[in-house]
Amino acid sequence: MTDPTPTDLPTDPRQLLALARPLAEEVAARLVASLDGAGPAVTSKSTATDLVTELDTWAEAFLTERLLAARPHDAVQGEEGADVTGTSGVTWSIDPIDGTVNFVHGLPGFCVSIAAKVDGRPVAGVVASPLHRDVFTATLGGGAFRNDRAIHVAEPASVARSVVGTGFGYDPDRRRRQAEVLTRVLPRIADIRRGGAAAVDLCSVACGRLDAYWEVGLNDWDHAAGALVAAEAGARVGGLAGEAPSERFIVAAPQVIWDDLVALLAEAGADAV
């Protein structure tokens, strides 16, 4: 099956974005307002470091309800368990709070991420990072924007001069292996940054704050919107063998350093953790 284009999609991506953006911004504002109080109730999921708050579950329920009220035949998938089957051909992929650890600690980097997908491919996406005062948006074939201004990836001179973002899994053994990968990668790049939210990291590549980014173990809702923003800003986004981004691996980088970065990551065993 060929990739969808804006002219043959079931709904104009611009209309999908127009629906999702104000909802993401509304939730983001609620999250910031909550930081002034006692803070949300916090529990854990897969491990003690995999946090979830009452606002994660509230935000996902709110977004699901509002999206389906506007488009009742769409499907919805979310980090906190939303799983609604649809018939329209559009699936919403929601991360109500990407970077929950940042949110719990009041650190910049948490965000609200919403993507609309057709045939598994994101066609519209918004990432609202409120403490950065950033709203990143993109539509398939329509470019990428930060606060309504067009953005583009950086053009680093080489991998050796690139600042690269990454993230770590929740499983302690995977973290240990990821640390070993870093010992192989770090001496051969300019520096590493760990922001704590995949969607924001991908958008940071899109606007040139990071030169590149990689991670393993992400779910679709972690990267769907951010990957579209990065791709529309000129990044190449995929796996080490050129496949689509997946839970196994995702890397985003300008084409000018793609081959060298992928070779470095493969040599370091970055996809084997």
Query: 42 and 133, same structural domain?
Result: yes
* Residue 128: both structure tokens together: 């609202």
* Residue 49: both structure tokens together: 């470091």
Which structural domain range is residue 118 located in?
13-150
- Residue 184: the pLDDT is 97
Q: Between 10 and 260, where is the model more confident?
A: 260
| Percent above pLDDT 70 for the chain | 90
Q: Is the pLDDT of residue 1 over 50?
A: no
- Residue 186: the pLDDT is 97
DSSP letter at 181 equals: H
Confidence grade of residue 11 (pLDDT, cut at 50, 70, 90)? confident
Confidence grade of residue 39 (pLDDT, cut at 50, 70, 90)? low
Q: Is the pLDDT of residue 261 over 50?
A: yes
Please count the structural domains in the chain: 2
Q: Between 201 and 273, where is the model more confident?
A: 201
3-state secondary structure of 118: strand
Query: 35 and 120, same structural domain?
Result: yes
Query: 257 and 233, same structural domain?
Result: yes
In a domain, 258, yes or no: yes
Query: 186 and 135, same structural domain?
Result: no
**How far from chain centre, in Å, is Cα 151?**
16
* Residue 219: both structure tokens together: 């779910």
Q: Is the pLDDT of residue 42 over 70?
A: no
Domain CATH code at residue 228:
3.40.190.80
In a domain, 6, yes or no: no
Residue count of the chain:
273
Q: Is the pLDDT of residue 44 over 90?
A: no
- Residue 82: the pLDDT is 84
Query: 182 and 146, same structural domain?
Result: no
In a domain, 5, yes or no: no
Q: Which of 217, 216, 260, 210 minimizes the C-alpha distance to 235?
A: 210
3-state secondary structure of 13: helix
**Domain stops at, among 101, 122, 150:** 150
3-state secondary structure of 164: strand
Confidence grade of residue 78 (pLDDT, cut at 50, 70, 90)? very high
Domain CATH code at residue 32:
3.30.540.10
* CB neighbour list of residue 227: distance below 8 Å, 6 or more residues apart: 122, 202, 237, 245, 250, 252
Query: 18 and 134, same structural domain?
Result: yes
Query: 133 and 59, same structural domain?
Result: yes
Query: 200 and 121, same structural domain?
Result: no
Q: List, for residues 169-207, the tens digit of each pLDDT value.
A: 888 899 999 999 999 999 999 999 999 999 999 999 999
> In Å, how far are 36, 96, 111, 114, 229 from 30, measured between CA atoms?
11, 12, 12, 16, 24
Query: 263 and 138, same structural domain?
Result: no
**How far from chain centre, in Å, is Cα 26?**
18
**Domain stops at, among 150, 185, 215:** 150
